[in-house]
A = this chain, B = another copy of it.
Amino acid sequence: MYRSYTCGELRLTDAGKNVTLAGWVQRTRKMGGMTFVDLRDRYGITQLVFDENTNAELCEQANKLGREFVIQIKGTVNERYSKNANMPTGDIEIIVSELKVLNASLVPPFTIEDNTDGGDDLRMKYRYLDLRRQCVRQNLELRHKMAFEVRSYLDKQGFLEVETPVLIGSTPEGARDFVVPSRMNQGQFYALPQSPQTLKQLLMVAGFDRYFQIVKCFRDEDLRADRQPEFTQIDCEMSFVEQEDIITLFEGMAKHLFKTIRNIEIKEAFPRMTWHDAMKYYGSDKPDLRFEMKFVELMDILKGYGFSVFDGAEYIGGICAKGAASYTRKQIDQLTDFVKRPQIGAKGLVYARVEADGTVKSSVDKFYSQEVLQKMKEAFAAETGDLILILCGDDTMKTRKQLCELRLEMAQQLGLRDKNKFACLWVVDFPMYEWSEEEGRLMAMHHPFTSPKPEDVPLLDTDPASVRANAYDMVINGVEVGGGSIRIHDSELQAKIFKILGFTPEKAEEQFGFLMNAFQYGAPPHGGLAYGLDRWVSLFAGLDSIRDCIAFPKNNSGRDVMLDAPGNLAQEQLDELGLKIVVK
């Protein structure tokens, strides 16, 4: 061992001890005849002292140390004159008697501080230096701890972690697969799993009863913000269970994580909301419930007064921003610009303020009497000082989504999205299908193995679009941290679902034959869910992006700029694989 203690553990009670420390030079300061060095490792920072009067030569060596040099020192623990209450080791310093440079360092391209001067590109290229920053490393420590606690909880609940293969077959349903050419089976390809969905269902057929895996998954998608081509799931499945059993067990897991990771004790059950209500009241299947600002529908109240925009609208709805009546004209114009951005797409914004005397002053006063406006005020339970914001449109769902964006923006502006406050929610009763304009057919909202609600099964023949699924999402602060469903275990029902999804029997057989075949040998009732570990960690870490809770993330072009990957292959390798590059 190059050290007898880490840089984070010495305290006043250690004064007088002879110690050996090793670490990185965070900073050096000369003051009079003294040189102070902050020595850093993963565990903390300890101040080293070199005194010119005692040992001029040693002090001279210390003066030559550069930032990020790796050194080893021997010395004596000493009580500090001026203590630093902000550091756990702030009561002591080390009077150094020996100094050895273990490795020099070039000047790093950015400062190794929480507030670094390095931009994103530089930080990613030198990720190994970026990871030295405490704020980044702590995210990875949090990630370790969360994964560890997930495993502890699930192990206690009788779950077995089973590794499923990474080299599997391609399944065209869903996103695009990454593929791996096979050298031993030239011309054929493996695919990397988008999730171990079918494999975990096979483990249920195999009688494993309770399975989980913290596992890398892969999607070859065009990367939007906060997507990574490889990401990590907490993947779980159980047999002989109903939806309620799964919700109970995994709500328990979430509470365990809140307690052990964030020291938050949640006693009450998580609220539940149907998908239908989530869309109606929040315009989202993952509403952020840290704040209320529920949608109020205004078609009955505001239609028929000659305001053609509203009169012709399919949907009119609004939110009430408490205490925001003080918004200036300029602020409201900015909100109008916000909702009119192409990403959101609203045509305009109607607003109304509740004045000190209780009257309502709106941007459409010429169409509405105070009486109508008071009815509207009542519908929102609005009070003096509140600001009502209204959108309308000819597509209910689209308009709700626009209103959802506005709601989130207002909450942001009003400081209602506190990163240290957590609002958990189960969204349930998802529709089985959603219509895809692009494909011109019904698509599975979750995946094709999701079970319909038993009471809705007859609707499969008459009105499939209205069938609800035994599917559920766990939402925290507007982030879908996980989701799952009860699966179909009956091969006849599965065949029917495939048919509704537009699979010919041949195509279903080709893609999922192994699963349907397996189901003929005694598949138990089963269901499960999967969490996005990256998202959950970033939520607990208070990060805006998942990138900083991943050790070596890729950029938006799917490149690892540190490793400079992907890269070219040697011709020999291509030949072995029987491949030729034909880039257009």
Contacts and interface: CB of A to CB of B under 8 A. Distances in A.
Interface of A: 1-3, 22, 24, 40-43, 68-70, 102-106, 108, 126-132, 137, 140-141, 143-144, 147-148, 151, 155, 160-170, 172, 176-192, 199, 202-203, 205-210, 216, 218, 220, 222-223, 229-230, 232, 240-242, 245, 489-490, 514, 518-525, 550-552, 554, 557-560, 562-570, 573, 576-584
Contact of A523 (B70, B186, B563): B70
Contacts of A209: 41-43
19 contacts: A2-B240, A70-B523, A127-B202, A129-B206, A132-B206, A167-B229, A167-B554, A168-B563, A170-B567, A170-B573, A179-B181, A179-B577, A185-B557, A186-B581, A186-B584, A187-B581, A190-B565, A578-B583, A579-B581
Contact of A566 (B105, B169, B203, B565): B169
Contact of A165 (B3, B203, B560, B567): B560
Given A105-B520, A144-B161, A178 B167 contact: yes
Contacts of A564: 169, 514
B551 A190 contact: no
A202 B128 contact: yes
B128 A518 contact: yes
A579 B578 contact: no
Contacts of A129: 206, 521
A165 B554 contact: yes
Number of copies of this protein chain within its complex? 2
Contact of A148 (B151, B199, B205, B558): B151
A163 to B, nearest CB: 6
A43 to B, nearest CB: 8
Given A522-B105, A579-B579, A162 B176 contact: no
Given A155-B148, A580-B582, A582-B580, A103 B524 contact: yes
Contacts of A205: 128
Given A131-B207, A206-B129, A577-B179, A144 B167 contact: no
B220 A104 contact: no
A180 B206 contact: no
A442 to B, nearest CB: 22
Given A188-B566, A202-B552, 9 more contacts: A3-B240, A41-B207, A42-B210, A105-B522, A108-B521, A167-B178, A169-B563, A177-B573, A188-B567
